[in-house]
């Protein structure tokens, strides 16, 4: 039996769902989200901030396998990024990398919106409360 509908990379990240979940309360975390379950996709990122960079990122997502796989990969890519360059590429880049069907491109835009929401909620020059562990 062959013929996975997912690309090998999508399958790899979907099967692992690395960086899934959230951080304990009290840590300096910026969270951003987008989408709604009713429309099939909801994505949330949590960024643990150390100084001016992301120390670690985690994601939560409700959606199709491509949504979960891309969100999982992005969460792993966010460490070390600053507010000004938080997004690792564009939805077009992610679509190519994960061979996302064109009819699902809108879901990647939801992921992008969640990251942009993180940027919007990350105060540019204000130190966040708490300390990164």
Partner 1 sequence: MTATHAGRPVYLDNAATTAVDPRVAAVMAAYLTEEGVYGNPSSTAHAFGREAARCIEVARAEVAALMSAEPGEIVFTSGATEASNLAILGTARANADRRRHLVTARTEHRATLDPMRRLEKEGFAVTWLTPDREGRLDARDVRAALRPDTLLVSIMHVNNETGVVQDVAAIGAVCRAAGVLFHCDLAQGVGKLPTAFAGLIDFGSFTAHKFHGPKGIGALYVAAAARPWLAPIMFGGGQERGLRSGTLATHQIAGFGRACALVRVEAGSDAVRMEALRAALWRSLADLPDVHLNSPLEGGSPAILNVSFEGVEGESLVSALPEIAISTGSACSSATAEPSYVLRALGRSAELAQSSLRFSLGRFTSETDIARAGEAVKHAVTRLRSVAP
For binding to partner 1 (CB under 8 A), which residues are involved? 1, 4-6, 14-15, 17, 20-21, 33, 37-44, 59-65, 67-68, 72, 101, 103-107
For the bound state, the minimum distance from the C-beta of residue 40 to partner 1, rounded and expressed in Å, comes to 3
Distance CA 23, CA 49 (A): 11
Distance CA 104, CA 109 (A): 9
In the complex with partner 1, which residue's Cβ is closer, 3 or 129? 3
In the complex with partner 1, which residue's Cβ is closer, 18 or 52? 18
For the bound state, the minimum distance from the C-beta of residue 85 to partner 1, rounded and expressed in Å, comes to 25
In the complex with partner 1, which residue's Cβ is closer, 11 or 81? 11
Distance CA 104, CA 96 (A): 12
For the bound state, the minimum distance from the C-beta of residue 29 to partner 1, rounded and expressed in Å, comes to 15
* Neighbour count for residue 54 (Cβ, 10 Å): 24
Distance CA 86, CA 118 (A): 9
For the bound state, the minimum distance from the C-beta of residue 60 to partner 1, rounded and expressed in Å, comes to 4
Check if the beta carbon of residue 122 is closer than 8 Å to that of residue 85. no
């Amino acid at each position: 039996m062959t013929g996975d509908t997912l690309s090998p990379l999508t399958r790899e990240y979907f099967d692992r769902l690395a960086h899934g979940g959230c951080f304990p309360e009290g840590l300096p975390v910026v969270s951003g989200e987008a989408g709604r379950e009713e429309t099939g996709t909801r994505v949330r990122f949590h960024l643990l901030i150390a100084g001016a960079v992301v120390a670690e990122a985690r994601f939560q997502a409700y959606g199709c396998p491509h949504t979960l796989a891309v969100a999982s990969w992005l969460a792993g890519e966010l460490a070390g990024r600053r507010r000004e360059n938080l997004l690792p590429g564009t939805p077009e880049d992610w679509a190519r990398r994960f061979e996302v069907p064109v009819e699902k491109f809108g879901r990647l835009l939801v992921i992008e919106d969640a990251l942009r929401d993180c940027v919007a909620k990350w105060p540019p020059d204000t130190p966040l409360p708490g300390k990164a562990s």
